[in-house]
Structure formats: C-alpha cells, structure tokens
Amino acid sequence: MPFPTPAQHELVVLIRPGLLTYATDDNGNPSGLEYDLTQAFAQELGVDVKYLVVEPEELEDHLVGGRYHLAAAWLSPSADETMQATPAITLTRDVLVQNEASLPLSERAQLSGKTVHAMAGSRQAETLSRLAREIPGLSVVTVGQGTSLDLLEKLGEREIEYVAIDESFEEIANQYVPNMRATLTLSETAPVVWQLGRHPNPELRVKLDAFIERVGHDGTLARLEDRYLGHVRRLRQADVVKFLGEVETTLPRFRKFFEAAQALTGIDWRLLAAVSYHESHWDPNATSYTNVRGIMMLTEDTADHLQVGNRLDPSESILAGARYINMLKELLPEEVEEPDRTWLALAAYNIGPGHFNGARTLAKQLKADPNSWYDMKRVLPKLAQPRYFSMVKTGRARGGEAVILVENIRSYYDILLRNAPPFAPTPSAAASLTRLVLEIEERRKAYVKRETIAKTIAATEKDEADVATLRLPTIGPEVKE
C-alpha cells in the first residue's frame, strides 16, 4: 500500500478484538495496548488511523489479502516466510489453563485424549496444531467468534475443560475467572510482532523498525504495559472470589447511591463502587483508629469541608466521596490526561492532597514526571524514607499505601466493568434517583443550617469574628523547574 501521508493517506491497521489489542468501553471509546501503540506511531507520522476490526476466524484471510499497512493482533511471525514482520515488540509464550477443580496436567504428553480450545487465527491455535501432530489423540477446537475472555468464562463454568491462551493474558483473565489456573507451558518464548504482509512499503518499514526500537528504550512501551498489566498482579485469587461474592450480595444495597452520585458528578458508578469496596468493603459503619469513617472512609476534616451531616449515612458519604474525587481531579494541572488524572486523584484521596503535592515536588526533583501515574507510583513509596521525605516540606507519609489502594481499585473497577452494566436509567428510575439526590441535598442543607447557627452562637459567646475553615491545598503549583 502507498506510504501514509497527512495529505493523502491513512494508516490502515488490521486488528482483532481483545483486552490487549482493541476493545471499546460503554461509550464506544477504544483502548488496548496495541491500539495505543498504533496511535502513537500514527501520531509520529502525522496521519489518522483506519482500523479494520476483524473477528478471529476472518483474520487469516485478511492477513493474506494484504490490504493493510500493518496487522496488530498480538501476533507471532508467520510460518510463511514470504510474510514480513517488524522486530519483536515484546516476548511471550502460550500456556494451558484449566478449571482449578479439575486434576492438573503436569506434562504435555497428558494432553493425549484431551480437547483444548483456542481462538481461531491466534498463535495458540498454531501451537496446538503443531502439538496435535506430536501428541496422539489431542483434539483442537478453534473458536471464531467472541474473545479469549468469553472462552475462559466457559472454562470457569466447566462447559469446556482446557483453553490455550497467551501468558500475558492469563494474568488479566484471573481477575474475571478466578477459578482458572495455568498448568502447562505449551511453547517456548516467542516474539509478538506487527505483521506487514508480503510487500510492505519500504519507507514505512524503515520508520516502523525505528519506532519499535525507540519505544522499547524510551519507556513508552513500559508505560503502556503498566497501563494494561501493571495492576493485575495485585489481587490474590481469594480476594477476587470474595469481591465477586460481595458484588452479588452486598453491592445491590448501595447501587442506587453510587448511581445517584454518578448522575450528579459524572464519575462512573462502578469506579465509585470500586473505591468504596477498597476503603470499607461496602460497610457503611466502617471506622478506623484515626476516626476515618463511613462507606467512603472520609476524614472528619474532609467531611466538614464537604458539609456532610452524617458520615455513616451511605447516601451522604458516597456522594461526598464522589465530589471529593472530582475536586482532587480539578486541582491537578490541566495537562494531566486520563486515565492518569483519575489514578493520581485517587492517590491524593488516600494520602491527602498536601502529602500528594509533596510527592509531586519530589518527583520533579528526581527527574520523574509528576503528571504520570507510571512515574508517581514509583515516587510515592519514597515518602516513607528519611532520605526522601526530608526533601519536601510536607514530610513523611505512607505513600506505598496510596499505590496499593490505586492499583487494587483499578483491578476492582476492571472486574465491575465486566460484571455490572453501565448506568442507563429508565425514565421512572431517573425520577427516583432525582428524588434521592434532592433528599440527600436537603439533609446536607439542614446540616449546614444547624452548623451555621451553632457557629453564630459560639461566635457571639466568644466574641470571635471569624471561624476557621478547611482549605484544600492545590495540587501542582509547588512543582517548579
């Protein structure tokens, strides 16, 4: 195909659905490690991207057809030597996963007489095809519709016994199918590449090779891998099982409050629920030894600033927590992009905006990017070390706890995105939520009125002219060259 230029051509990318390749959220916004990487390459060329999203069963025909500049579908180099590819983007291998209730396989020879599923057109399908020639009785079933995660959910329900998947994807999938486990390595370590077809554009090939070498050295690829894989290793299997149980039994009691908070603040109710679960395990009466209380674990100062009448009232606490997260997001510099803006705000939610501001100052001193969660999650734990907290005026803080909070929330949020529908109220439900928000607001106003009267009386008795109020420090201005 012709070399893509800003004036004449788009970069045509062949891609297939998947959490690491190309997926869309409830609003149709795309994401995925390979999606982000192709966007970065196109930006370097100064061109737009045209994505040809194909189902797994159609991938092979499209690869041979050649009407694309590159194929980004978590692919290995083709066995067909006439099909060209980029240098390795990353390395991975294929593994066998099975339900934890079944007898684990310990060697490949035990695959004899077994049926193993894989996605059509995948590297795993090729691996199994090769193994089937070596292992008598191994039956391979390739699935042409859906995603690997759909296949693994069938494994979790014991509708099928064995699935071959990419080792990197196994860590993500454990969040959604906690009763699966990897038991066998099916292949040696192999490169993940972008396939270029039989006759790639020579100029494009040179730029692709240079791009892949650069992103492997300048941290771009590491940041993308962290965005999609960095948090998935945090939760234990028992944590996921417990959380999924609470989603079924406890979450329904509070869901309307989370949805009301989304209606008022715009924050996805599932993210608020993930924050709340990490903070209190959805216990409206939760109280820490530092007197942080409620389902969103608000401090007394924060609750006063947000004019919360009763921290133990889940409707008030959830709405206040959502408002507080938005406040923290707004305090960040304008150039901070999502999803980093949200993760950074959640770290400030845990550690406090003052200490978080100190961490941003420290990041600048350490030549790290204070606007990047990838960098900040390495800086925050240093606030517990005298060598580093002495460098900032806000002093010592448990920054490592803030990192754990954010990474766990990311995992819980991922699980809820898969297991709970987005907020899309019917007219009657919307009217009910409106009444609920008004009720919460009326309680808040009544609280403010009581507090105002009490302060007026106190001021009169003590002849005080002013009453001190909490002011949140802004996040960002302290970071200077």
| Active-site residue list | 279
The answer to whether the beta carbons of residues 186 and 128 sit under 8 Å apart is yes
Which class for 356: exposed (0-12), middle (13-18), buried (19 or more C-beta within 10 A)?
Answer: buried
Which class for 252: exposed (0-12), middle (13-18), buried (19 or more C-beta within 10 A)?
Answer: exposed
Tokens of 303: 């609750």
SS3 state of residue 181? strand
The answer to whether the beta carbons of residues 129 and 60 sit under 8 Å apart is no
User: Hunting for tokens 């080792």 — which residue is that?
Assistant: 167
DSSP H/E element including 313: none
Of 159, 92, 102, 71, nearest in space to 143 by CA = 159
User: Hunting for tokens 């390979």 — which residue is that?
Assistant: 34
The rounded distance, in Å, linking the Cα atoms of 4 and 208 is 12
State whether the Cα torsion 394-396-402-403 is positive or negative: positive
* Alpha-helical segments (H) within 147-236: 148-156, 167-173, 202-217, 220-229
Strand order in the sheet with 162-166: 139-143, 115-119, 162-166, 94-99, 180-185
State whether the Cα torsion 150-151-153-157 is positive or negative: positive
Of 173, 56, 184, nearest in space to 126 by CA = 56
SS3 state of residue 383? helix
The answer to whether the beta carbons of residues 15 and 72 sit under 8 Å apart is yes
The rounded distance, in Å, linking the Cα atoms of 315 and 360 is 33
Give me the phi and psi of 245, to 5 degrees please.
Answer: -65, -40
